[in-house]
A and B are shown apart, each in its own frame.
Chain A
Amino acid sequence: MTEDADTRPQLPEVQPSEEEVQQLVRGAQHGEEAAFSRLYEVYFHRVYRFVALRVDTPADAEDITEDVFLRMLESIGSFRRREAPFVAWIMRIAHNRVVDYWRRARTRTSLPLDEAPPLPSEREDPHARIELFSDSRDLQAALGRLTDLQRQVLALRFGAGLSVMETAAVMKRNDGAIKALQHSAVAALRRIMVPGEQ
């Protein structure tokens, strides 16, 4: 086993070209093990981050991420390039798994109080911090106060690193609607983190 990308700087991420992705997808559709493995390496972080920004706990994000790749394995034969880019296709799978998760979660009890992170607006003097979010739990708590669509657009844009066009394909909206939604989501996040600001 070799050291991998975890130890290298993460941003900006180098993603394979669309042509390379198409080649990998064709390979996977023809049953090439190496192509499946490479697709996993390429999309693992993006899927995980997207899911983690939309669910409650890292353990849930891990379970759903694994499930997304197993579903990719089973259904890659049904992927058609002309319908959407591959990244939009796999993120659509991830989105559907997240929707299932929340459907099941309705019957669950809520997070115990001592495990819930304090909401940023409840803290003293948010202006005193240079970073608005001290860690990922902080960010997730703030995202939890957005509407589902706002949370989804930020998870796709900031978590999965999708372009507006790809985000539009996943959310089945036009580019203009995604830009407007993104604007309202970032502004809402700002209001949550810095409540007194004009």
Chain B
Amino acid sequence: MVHDPLDDVLNDCLDRLQRGESVALCLARYPDWATHLRPLLETATSAVAARPAPDPSFRATSRLRFQGAIRSHLAVQRSSRGETLFPSWARAWAGMMAALVLIIGFGSGAVLASSNAAPDSPLYPVKRATERAQVALTPSEASRARLHLRWADRRGVEMAAMAQEGKADHVDRLRRDLVRELDLAHAEAGTSPETPSTAGAPSAAVPEAGVRALGAGSAPPESSSPRPQDSRPAEVPTSDRAGNEARAFLREVHDDGERTLARLILAQRKAPPPAREALGRALKAAQARYGEPAALESGPYPSPPRIVVLQGVASYRGSTLWVGQRRVELPADAVIHGRPRAGQVLVIGGLLQEDGSILALQVEAEGPAKGAPARVTLQGPLASGPGGYLTIAGYRITLTPGQTTVQGEPTPGHWVMVEGRLVAPDVIAADRVRALDGVPVPFEDTED
């Protein structure tokens, strides 16, 4: 093949263009080649300018999915390797046997594939066995307690998914598993669930009694294996450090609980009746263990009310999602249905955060927006703000006599739905306010 010197000249110029040099300067460098070079460089620069860029919404959701995949991958890798230092030969033996059984019995591919298995999947027992192996391989009580919390969180996610498919029997089974994980978590940590009166306020002091030493080196463990929860008064902490660790753990329980309870509440929106009732049982059981006061029935909501469902049009600033002028955070474990692109109507269910943003737990893309983008629909506990204004999730609700339709008796502390226009970033001029019966409902149910 005959070598064409223009191959090298063109390549040198393309490299220079990539470093920011102009076409004119490149042509000046190679005046003898300028006639041939110019159309080629114009074509190349035009092609580079037109190359496709990823949709910001894809980037945001893809990053989340990848982060979730990293965690699952690393968790399975760690449990399969069995490289932890074991405090006792018995734990090591149990853990290695569990890992070996998993790897020999199912193969590491099956272990990896099972990490996202649903409770009705044939791979689900592998997932649960992997979880047990991880616990068995974890040396400290504090770490085991946190693992049990994580598994409880998973059961909540699974329960929400099963409820939406109407699988009430799975919901009931998962409820028992969730309760067991929480009991084991408290048993490992030596704590007991907070009483409702203290749990609503994260800054409230955790009673010193009711806390056993938590964390490596804090106090001699009673046993190296989890003990069942009992009703005896727990030991008084042996040191400030132990007390602080226990308080930190209870805060984690509270935060996890808030997410799980919110997930279950949101799942009630679309669950068919038997599954909805099963979810109600799960909510009661979970509340008792997480220590969150009753937030779900028709009674008043805790203060501050944090669970919110928002329907609005998606927009992006950079790769940050905004809906109804609210920034929406998408954590790695958020459940996302469809692709939440800009201009799509999204239903966001999640927790209102202190800075006014929403921590999304589930996102549903419902299709392209047809109406004005400033229109939003919101469900959440009604609150009475400063000056007597009604608010939901920090939005001030204005009612106009003769224009706003009010259905039922929306009162502060109860779940309501508001439809209206965003007339300012935090103000909704309501067209309709409707008192709901305790739990969120699908938005399509409101079209009557």
Majority SS at the chain A contact face: helix
Q: Say which residue of A11, A48, A135, A179 sits within 8 Å of B54 (CB atoms).
A: A48
Tell me whether A44 and B59 are in contact (CB under 8 A).
yes
Give the nearest-CB partner of A33 in chain B: B70
Give the nearest-CB partner of A160 in chain B: B51
Q: How far is the CB of B12 from chain A (nearest CB, A)?
A: 10
Binds B, one of A65-73, A93-101, A103-111: A65-73
Tell me whether B7 and A131 are in contact (CB under 8 A).
no
Q: How far is the CB of B443 from chain A (nearest CB, A)?
A: 25
Tell me whether B11 and A65 are in contact (CB under 8 A).
no
Give the tally of cross-chain contacts (CB within 8 A). Answer: 152
Binds B, one of A16-24, A83-91, A151-159: A151-159
CA distance A84 to B54 in the complex (A): 27
CB-CB contacts of B1-15 with A at 8 A, as 1s and 0s? Answer: 101101110110011
Give the nearest-CB partner of A189 in chain B: B43
Number of chain B interface residues as a range: 35 or more
Tell me whether B77 and A49 are in contact (CB under 8 A).
no
CA distance A161 to B71 in the complex (A): 30
Known contacts A7-B318, A69-B66; A183/B10 CB under 8 A: yes
Tell me whether A140 and B52 are in contact (CB under 8 A).
yes
Q: How far is the CB of A178 from chain B (nearest CB, A)?
A: 8
Chain A CB within 8 A of B409 CB: no
Contacts of A73 in B (CB 8 A): 66, 69-70, 73
Contacts of B56 in A (CB 8 A): 6
Contacts of B51 in A (CB 8 A): 49, 52-53, 136, 139, 158-159
Give the nearest-CB partner of B318 in chain A: A3
Tell me whether A133 and B40 are in contact (CB under 8 A).
no
Chain A CB within 8 A of B22 CB: no
Q: Say which residue of A7, A12, A62, A180 sits within 8 Å of B62 (CB atoms).
A: A62
Known contacts A3-B320, A53-B52; A179/B7 CB under 8 A: yes
Chain B CB within 8 A of A145 CB: no
Give the nearest-CB partner of B3 in chain A: A176
Contacts of B78 in A (CB 8 A): 31
Chain A CB within 8 A of B173 CB: no
Q: How far is the CB of A104 from chain B (nearest CB, A)?
A: 21
CA distance A33 to B78 in the complex (A): 12
CA distance A178 to B287 in the complex (A): 65
Chain B CB within 8 A of A37 CB: yes
Chain B CB within 8 A of A92 CB: no
Tell me whether A44 and B44 are in contact (CB under 8 A).
no
CA distance A12 to B17 in the complex (A): 9
Tell me whether A74 and B319 are in contact (CB under 8 A).
no
Contacts of A4 in B (CB 8 A): 318-319
Give the nearest-CB partner of B43 in chain A: A190
Known contacts A73-B69, A186-B44; A2/B320 CB under 8 A: yes
- Listed by A's residue number, 24 A-B pairs whose Cβ atoms lie within 8 Å are A3-B317, A3-B319, A11-B48, A31-B74, A36-B66, A36-B70, A44-B63, A58-B55, A58-B58, A65-B62, A132-B46, A132-B50, A135-B50, A136-B51, A139-B51, A180-B3, A180-B7, A182-B7, A182-B10, A183-B4, A183-B7, A183-B40, A186-B10, A190-B43
Nearest 6 interchain pairs by C-beta: A133-B50, A136-B52, A3-B318, A132-B46, A179-B7, A52-B52
- Which residues of chain B have a CB within 8 Å of any CB of chain A? 1, 3-4, 6-8, 10-11, 14-15, 18-20, 39-40, 42-44, 46-56, 58-60, 62-63, 65-67, 69-71, 73-74, 77-78, 112, 317-321, 327, 329-330
- Which residues of chain A have a CB within 8 Å of any CB of chain B? 1-4, 6-7, 10-12, 31, 33, 36-37, 40, 44-45, 48-49, 52-53, 58, 61-62, 65-66, 69-70, 73-74, 131-136, 138-140, 154, 157-159, 161, 163-164, 176, 179-180, 182-183, 186-187, 189-190, 193-194, 197
Given contact pairs A49-B53, A53-B52, A65-B62, enumerate 4 new A-B contacts (beta carbons under 8 Å).
A3-B319, A66-B65, A164-B11, A183-B6
